[in-house]
Amino acid sequence: MSDSATPATPVTFPPAFLWGAATSAYQIEGAVREDGRTPSIWDTFSHTPGKTAGGETGDIANDHYHRYRDDVAMMADLNLNAYRFSVSWSRVQPTGRGPAVQRGLDFYRRLVDELLAKGIKPAVTLYHWDLPQELEDAGGWPERDTAYRFAEYAQIMGEALGDRVENWITLNEPWCSAFLGYASGVHAPGRTDPAAALKAAHHLNLAHGLGAKALRSVMPARNTVALSLNTSVVRPLSPGDPADVAAARKIDDLSGGIFHGPILHGAYPETLLEATSSLTDWSCIQDGDLDLIHQPLDALGLNYYTPTLVSAADPDAEGPRADGHGASEHSPWPAADDVAFHQSPGELTEMGWSVDPTGLYDLIMRYNREAPGLPIYITENGAAYDDKPDADGKVHDPDRVAYLHGHLSEVRRAIADGADVRGYYLWSLMDNFEWAYGYDKRFGAVYVDYVTQQRIPKSSALWYARAAKTGTLPEPEGI
């Protein structure tokens, strides 16, 4: 893949740029029944027959709970200066209510201390999809009370780690929590109620606002509060066709506007409210909610993998919905049956997602316009490939090296064009439990043998380590 940077684009990244990697708790920690932890919705979902590939679960995963010191040492060896991880809510607050379990908090205290000792800046994500099962039993995200329970949990974490962790993220990809969890059912808790999914989206927004306030009430003023969105980069199949442009607008509202509208601008898009009026009257929005949601942000996290290509649906066409979000008879796009999804052009990853670095540039510049002056972090970007050790025990992944080179080139181009991008977190540090796909999809820069728990840095990890050390992008060849 060629570097799309122009001769006018600087070849180096800013000196303070964060070179990080990201993970999430249920995907790597294991130890699901230790030290007071209770089931989350992902424990329940993965143990339900037919929900994950091969019936695989995160019970052991990467055993990071016991191997975190070695994993942090590995991060240091790879020249990372930042690490984004999430907290298992039910490890800290088993029922989603009441006082914290100190043994659970102690794990994260030890992890943070280990990171700081190695010169690695921690970034804590409070919620990466693993709601305590007791809160789901009480109604989950479609219930307003869940947002208030999240705020209490946020305060617990801010009090425990706010003195040592400066960068905080309230929610990761609330779109997935709401629409894959409650509309298409391919993610936990596996419900298929589009009206409930829209309520869940609002209550996730409310949780962000309440959580941000709670964090700031107990943390030093120097700390930053952000959230990570996976807004689709939506492109109409025929840009000159008004029907295709309208279809793209509808999906953009459902993937992005439903979150950044109230969070960044204090209002939901009118086009979203109108398009979904057949499913809900939005009475879940109470007086004062939009002010609560519209908290000042210190930064914005953006997650990007592939663009979305749509058109107006042909009413006579039949077939699977190729939106890249798993197979289900139920759509994750409420009130959007009039939209058809198409495979974007380009090489495909193991997820069937097209490789298109220009989408990352477009996403960055879009939010550079949506929220001028707001610092941006790329909190996830990466690709799954069918990685295997060779006869010498090494793992060569040239496709991932090319993917990272192409996407980081677009980050550098965005910075040159005026975007304030301050860091990049590769997804993922290491192979892990890939949700409903089980252990079949490998996103890691580090290979994991799940039988022996051996970690083997892939070619991409070595390439990224050189980039992090020099602040430049080495050519992909020769790694």
Mean pLDDT for back-to-back runs of 10 residues, the chain (479 residues): 52 95 99 98 98 98 98 98 99 97 98 98 98 98 98 98 98 98 98 98 99 98 98 98 98 98 98 98 98 98 98 80 90 97 96 98 98 98 97 98 98 98 98 98 98 98 98 84
d(CA 463, CA 453): 23
Confidence (pLDDT) at 149: 98
Range 387-403 burial, b when 16+ CB lie within 10 A, else e: beeeeeeebbbbbbbbb
Active site (annotated) includes residue 380: yes
* Residue 78 CA to its chain's centroid (Å): 22
Answer for the pair 236, 245: CB distance below 8 angstroms, yes or no. Answer: yes
Residues 6 or more apart from 260 whose CB is under 8 A from it?
Answer: 229, 231, 367, 370, 371
* Residue 79 CA to its chain's centroid (Å): 23
DSSP annotation of 257 reads I
Catalytic residue among 29, 56, 143, 380: 380
Confidence (pLDDT) at 11: 79
Strand segments, DSSP code E, in 193-238 are 224-229, 234-236
Indicate if the alpha-carbon torsion angle 396, 398, 400, 404 is positive or negative. positive
Confidence (pLDDT) at 8: 56
d(CA 100, CA 420): 37
The type of residue at 23 is T
Active site (annotated) includes residue 370: no
DSSP annotation of 142 reads T
Catalytic residue among 29, 136, 173, 410: 173
Question: CA-based Rg of the chain, rounded to a whole angstrom?
Answer: 21
d(CA 150, CA 225): 15
Prior bond of 189 cis (ω within 30°)? yes
pTM above 0.95, yes or no: yes
Indicate if the alpha-carbon torsion angle 251, 196, 258, 133 is positive or negative. negative
Confidence (pLDDT) at 478: 58
